[in-house]
Amino acid sequence: MARLKEREVYFSTDIETDGPIPGPHSMLSLGSAAFSGNGTVLDTFEVNFETLPDAVGEKSTMEWWASQDDAYAKTRVNTQSPEVGIKKFVDWVRTFEGSPVFVGYPATFDFMFVYYYTIKFLGPGASPFSFSALDIKSFAMAKLGSTFRGTTKRNMPRHWFRDTGSHTHVAIEDAIEQGHLFCNILRESNRG
């Protein structure tokens, strides 16, 4: 595999929400860890959001949160307006030299909310990631040569989970965990 010539900064990002789609439901928190390609954590960012006006928590999501009361409580501390919080995130991403790459697990879900908030509150063209994101599960599928449905964490090599920690449903903690997983796969891919 050819090595990247341009320096990329990988923003492993995790969000917590009160429903399945943005608009009718809100992003409650966002955590992001900026990683270099060698797996070094360059910096972290976290923000909790006030809910969107007229948005409501979706029933099954809120029932699930009731079973995760400590993690949910952490999303409700020091909340900021969506406009202020998403601007701080975008400004933070733009402080890094190199090309920003959004990384998520699953990227489709996390990026959907982040992109929606960025465009809604900052306007078209405001996303530092353009309109794309790197999905860790898809990347693992390609590396393993497996099917997408067969690419689950329990079927991934254990050494990919070195330094990852546990999944807590606290956005910043999960962003760091997922970022280490991504960088472990990336390092192995660059060696092969």
SS (H, E, C) 96-109: CCCEEEEEECCHHH
- Counting runs of H as helices and runs of E as strands, what totals does the chain give? 6, 6
With H, G, I as helix, E, B as strand and everything else as coil, classify residue 169: coil
pLDDT of res. 163: 75
pLDDT of res. 6: 60
pLDDT of res. 51: 98
Task: Sort 147 into a burial class: Cβ within 10 Å, 0-12 / 13-18 / 19+.
Answer: exposed
pLDDT of res. 192: 55
The per-residue pLDDT string of the chain (192 residues; one tens digit each, 9 = 90 and over) reads 344 446 999 999 999 999 999 999 999 999 999 999 999 999 999 999 999 999 999 999 999 999 999 999 999 999 999 999 999 999 999 999 999 999 999 999 999 999 999 999 999 999 999 999 999 999 999 999 999 999 998 889 888 888 777 889 999 999 999 999 999 999 988 875
pLDDT of res. 167: 83
For the chain, the structural domain boundaries read: 8-191
Into which CATH architecture does domain 8-191 fall? Answer: 2-Layer Sandwich (3.30)
pLDDT of res. 48: 98
Which single residue is written with the structure tokens 């990631």?
Answer: 129
pTM value surpassing 0.85: yes
Cα–Cα distance for residue pair 69/48, rounded to 1 Å: 16
Which residues have CB under 8 Å from 81's CB, separation 6+?
49, 50
Task: Sort 57 into a burial class: Cβ within 10 Å, 0-12 / 13-18 / 19+.
Answer: middle
pLDDT of res. 190: 84
